[in-house]
C-alpha cells in the first residue's frame, strides 16, 4: 500500500516536473 502511494507520487512528480522527479526518485532506487 505504501509502495503504491510512492508510485502515484512519482507519477505526479513526472507529470508536474520530470527533471525534479528524476532527482527525487534517484536516491530512492539506490
Residue 16: domain span: 1-30
- Residue 25: partners with Cβ closer than 8 Å, 6 or more residues away: 10, 13
Determine the average pLDDT of the residues in 4-21: 66
Domain count, the chain: 1
The predicted model scores a pTM of 0.30
What is each CA distance from 10 to 24, 25, 27, in whole angstroms? Answer: 8, 7, 13
pLDDT in tens, 13-26: 666 665 655 665 55
Q: Which range has highest mean pLDDT (6-10, 11-15, 18-22, 26-30)? A: 6-10
- What phi and psi, each to the nearest 5 degrees, are found at residue 19? -65, -45
Amino acid at each position: 500500500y505504501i509502495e503504491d502511494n510512492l508510485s502515484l507520487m512519482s507519477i505526479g512528480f513526472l507529470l508536474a516536473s520530470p527533471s525534479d522527479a528524476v532527482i527525487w526518485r534517484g536516491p530512492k532506487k539506490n
